Structure 1
Amino acid sequence: MGVLTGRTALVTGASRGIGRGIAERLGRDGARVAVHYGRNETAAKETVAAIEAAGGSAFAIGVELGVPGDAEALWEEFDRHADGLDILVNNAGIGSARPIGEITEDDFDRVFAVNVKAPFFLLKHGMTRLRDGGRVVNISSGLARTAVMPDNVAYAMTKGALDVFSRDLSKVLGARGITVNSVAPGIIDTDNTAELLHGSPDGWARAAAYSALGGVGTPADVADVVAFLVSDGGRWVTGSWVDATGGSLT
């Protein structure tokens, strides 16, 4: 029996990268996992297959975030597969690495729609589905606490907003025994960071130099932190910002 056996989890943006790592870990721990994806159905089905191959249970949900009615559409699809939720991981997000002088209003609105508005309304419409004693984890970023990459200003702003959401929501849901936390990765080796890490001969070394541990993180490094927070072991941690940057802010 896994530590999450009998619980249902939803991970947004779970078809690849950090989201897939989290979904697979929760599946191994016994949770039935709703694997959300925006457009890449094939990748989401691969995540589901990987969870099932490891002995877990999962199903895919395809809904584009950042558009009107996204939260309602996601929950409508979720309700076809499950009758309640124990764990919500708001992982889906997009970035903008354009400096402030180049970013357009459309760019700005889009990154806030996906990274901030979508999680907010997913929670608003999902609170009645979230069972007492549940867990909410919002995937933030170390960039919410450092200006080391100032061209990511719009993205960093969205993660700062998500951190405030975690803090305040912990008070709203605490009476029901539901914990809410932010987990902030640093540079993680995914397809999103491929250009940064592999686009130049010294890319990996420069990225690793940010970390006190002298390395680049993996999705599993973040997933393990999330797994603790959603387990019974994380029951007394709420309203927190958990640094999962490998010491990149020290």
Structure 2
Amino acid sequence: MIILNEEQVATVQAHLASAGLSESLSAELLDHLCCAIEARMEEGADFPTAVHTTLKSWPIRHLRGIQKNIRFTTKIKPMIFRFTTAAALLAGIVFMSPGFSPSPVAEVTTCTSHHNEEMLYSLTLPEKFEPPSASPIAGVEMEDILSCGYGMRTHPIFKVRKFHRGIDLKAKSGTPVLATADGKVIFAGSDGKYGITVRILHEDGYITVFAHLSEHIVERGDHVILGEKIAAVGSTGMSTAPHLHYEVLKDDKPVDPLALGRALPAGATEG
């Protein structure tokens, strides 16, 4: 029997965290998605293939739609549905399908084969790319480990005011760095003052940049998914201590990574 390890579970957690789900729904979905991934691996798929196939059916927009519809359904149908968390999950999904009419909901098991998963949850909304707003460090919010924000600052080496194109996140050397959205690696290697760097191209004109790394484990041309390990924190290039420098570009203009999910600020150029 295949059981996902902590790092593999963290990949799924990162995907769910990007949707901003309630704690109870996130826990229920984590169990369900991990079971689906394990079932695919039992049939011979490797982890990257199994997780990509499973999470592709559960895009961020769909997860948020489930939560919204669960709240709506539990509010207006209290006498029809007697919800456990799992039953509420199924009701939210079914409620989004065209031509849905309320009917008693059968008991739902939390761990099903991926064949049943694909049958029950084939009602996925059309995929729409979500900006890369997840944390590149598993299990922590970017705000909680922020050491230097986006915008004007005094450069730690040159001691002059310069525009900081991204944010700096506190982390020990060797800490795994995760992709913050699906995309294609367009650069992986040494990049002058940025040291070892990975750049990923995403849909809708987004590029993410991960710099001062100790190593990269992806190569140019690789396709990565949200939450996939791509590198490790370091202090290469023009850096005074181990940390992750993280940038997000939209149409080649830097934006504040912490602002994604809210209104995007105007881009700026390095000064």
Verify same fold: TM over 0.5: no
Judging by fraction of residues, say which structure has more strand.
Answer: 2
Normalising by the residue count of structure 2, what TM-score does the alignment of the two structures yield? Answer: 0.26
Normalising by the residue count of structure 1, what TM-score does the alignment of the two structures yield? Answer: 0.28
Highest Rg: 1 or 2?
2
Judging by fraction of residues, say which structure has more helix.
Answer: 1
